[in-house]
């Protein structure tokens, strides 16, 4: 009997359904080739349901999501709905309730993809960002007081517990040991860089740096580095080849991974995973709903397809994951651009091309 994985598919809004459709096509091709089954179950959550019924993420749906093997997500956000309602109510709620405390965002320039940085290619743009995904400014702790006066105060707290920092850094060290540049045969050492702001956020980085050294002592084979987040942005452009694995807190990770995405060809190709190493993980293209391109068969599905490959890797189907990555690498050199509507192919043509390579 071949193995069957149950996958909840949250295609979501905007171009989400189009890119996820191509992703599912490629995933099924890989499943067939490598002898496992995927039970892809579409979930009715997103802007359309909210506008129809007022429901964002019903508890019953959330309970179902806790019982699947993985979640495959397109994009969340709707032009007719106030920003924040769906993002917080769906995307962030799933991340928190399923305790997906790692956001894994590989930064990898595929062959033939134009890099906006002069003189940099696939050899230089080849690292990975691990974003802490459960704490920091995203906990929503804070508030407003003295409203209606000129002394009104807004507070939004950056909050971390020792346990949150420790589990994130442990994952990062393990990841660097297994997937660092030395482990992959492209560098002399495996490096893990902690990115922070210890010159200003002194309490926060007293904790992060201490735990970094503490956990790092168990990983003598991983070289430790520390960079301030502002300097990191500069280095990501000036000398991206210096990075191997980066680990950082939630908000810094949100910001630097958009910068990283453009250096790898843009949001059309950047994939990520929200990971709970012992629970249910969720994989998504980093880009949003792209309302301008919705329904035009013009959006780039490669980020969603790449997210599908990451999902298979997490499920333990490494060969199938590698096959999808190989098929993406065989497709990118044929494309004119990674930008929507300029690819030289339609969304569905690209899905067919990648699926055909498997
Ligand atoms: C991301 C997004 C989300 C985030 C938004 C949509 C809430 O920017 O996944 O990077 O801030 O985490
Ligand atoms: Mg973001």
Query: From ligand 1's centre to the CA of 254, what distance in Å?
Result: 6
DSSP class per residue in 26-75: HHHHHHHHHT-EEEEEE---SHHHHHHHS-SS-HHHHHHHTTSSEEEEEE
Q: Is residue 145 in some structural domain?
A: yes
pLDDT greater than 80 at residue 2: yes
Evaluate if pTM is beyond 0.75.
yes
Q: Which of 262, 263, 268, 258 is nearest to 293 (CA)?
A: 268
Ligand nearest to the CA of 84: 1
Question: What is the tally of structural domains in the chain?
Answer: 2
- Are 214 and 273 found together in one domain? no
Q: For the purposes of burial, counting CB atoms within 10 Å of the CB of 346, is it exposed (0-12), middle (13-18) or buried (19 or more)?
A: middle
Query: From ligand 2's centre to the CA of 202, what distance in Å?
Result: 25
Q: Is residue 255 in some structural domain?
A: no
Atom of ligand 1 nearest to the CA of 288: 6
CB–CB of 173/102 below 8 Å? no
> Using one digit for the tens of pLDDT, what is the confidence trace for 153-184?
999 999 999 999 999 999 999 999 999 999 99
Atom of ligand 1 nearest to the CA of 284: 9
Residue from 89, 139, 254, 290 to probe ligand 1 pocket by mutation (most atoms less than 8 Å from CB):
254
Q: How many Cα atoms occupy the beta-carbon half-sphere of 222 within 13 Å?
A: 30
CATH number at residue 41: 3.40.718.10
Q: Is residue 122 in some structural domain?
A: no
In order of 10, 47, 185, 291, 318, the CA distances from 18 in angstroms are 12, 15, 36, 12, 25
Q: Are strands 245-248 and 222-228 parallel, antiparallel or unpaired?
A: unpaired
- Are 237 and 316 found together in one domain? no
> Using one digit for the tens of pLDDT, what is the confidence trace for 119-146?
999 999 999 999 999 999 999 999 999 9
Pick from 188, 211, 246: which residue ends a domain? 246
Ligand 1 pocket residues where CB is under 6 Å = 87, 91-92, 254
| Residues with catalytic function | 138, 197, 230, 254, 258
Q: Pick the residue whose CA is nearest to atom 11 on ligand 1.
A: 254
Identify the domain containing residue 311 by its residue range: 1-114+265-358
- Are 100 and 137 found together in one domain? no
> Using one digit for the tens of pLDDT, what is the confidence trace for 176-217?
999 999 999 999 999 999 999 999 999 999 999 999 999 999
d(CA 310, CA 275): 10
Report the alpha-carbon angle 159-90-250, nearest 5.
30
Atom of ligand 1 nearest to the CA of 88: 7
Query: From ligand 1's centre to the CA of 157, what distance in Å?
Result: 18
Pick from 246, 273, 306: which residue ends a domain? 246
Ligand nearest to the CA of 271: 1
Tell me which DSSP letter residue 186 carries. S
d(CA 358, CA 356): 6
The three-state secondary structure class of 95 is helix
Residue from 81, 92, 132 to probe ligand 1 pocket by mutation (most atoms less than 8 Å from CB):
92
- Are 1 and 73 found together in one domain? yes
Q: Pick the residue whose CA is nearest to atom 6 on ligand 1.
A: 87
Q: Pick the residue whose CA is nearest to atom 12 on ligand 1.
A: 254
Q: Is residue 274 in some structural domain?
A: yes
Question: CB under 8 Å to 238, separation ≥6 — which residues?
Answer: none
pLDDT greater than 70 at residue 1: no
């Amino acid at each position: 009997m071949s193995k069957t994985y149950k996958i909840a598919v949250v295609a979501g809004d905007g171009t989400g359904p189009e890119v996820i459709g191509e992703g599912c096509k490629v995933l099924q091709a890989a499943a067939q080739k490598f002898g496992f089954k995927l039970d892809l179950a579409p979930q009715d959550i997103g802007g359309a349901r909210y506008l129809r019924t007022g429901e964002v993420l019903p508890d019953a749906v959330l309970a179902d999501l806790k019982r699947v093997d993985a979640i495959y997500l397109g994009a969340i956000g709707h032009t007719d709905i106030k920003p924040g309602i769906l993002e917080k109510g769906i995307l962030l709620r799933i991340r928190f309730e399923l305790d997906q405390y790692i956001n894994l965002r590989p930064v990898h320039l595929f062959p033939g993809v134009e890099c906006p940085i002069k003189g940099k290619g696939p050899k230089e743009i080849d690292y990975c960002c691990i974003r802490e995904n459960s704490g920091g400014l995203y906990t929503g702790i804070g508030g407003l007081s003295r409203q209606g006066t000129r002394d009104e105060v807004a507070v939004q707290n950056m909050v971390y517990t020792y346990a949150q920092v420790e589990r994130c850094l442990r994952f990062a060290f393990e990841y660097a040991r297994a997937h660092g540049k030395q482990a992959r045969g492209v560098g002399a050492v495996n490096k893990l860089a902690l990115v922070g702001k210890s010159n200003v956020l002194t309490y926060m980085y007293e904790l992060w740096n201490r735990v970094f050294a503490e956990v790092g002592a168990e990983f003598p084979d991983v070289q430790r580095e520390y960079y301030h987040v502002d300097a990191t942005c500069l280095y990501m452009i000036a000398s991206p080849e210096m990075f191997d694995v980066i680990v950082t807190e939630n908000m810094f990770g949100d910001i630097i991974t958009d910068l990283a995405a453009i250096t790898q060809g843009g949001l059309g190709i950047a994939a990520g995973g929200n990971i709970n190493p012992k629970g249910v993980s969720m994989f998504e293209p980093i880009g949003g709903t792209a309302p301008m391109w919705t329904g035009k068969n013009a959006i780039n599905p490669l980020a969603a397809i790449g997210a599908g490959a990451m999902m298979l890797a997490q499920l333990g189907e490494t060969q199938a994951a590698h096959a999808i990555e190989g098929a993406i690498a065989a497709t990118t050199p044929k494309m004119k651009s990674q930008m929507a509507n300029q690819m030289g192919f339609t969304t569905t043509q690209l899905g067919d091309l990648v699926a055909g390579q498997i």
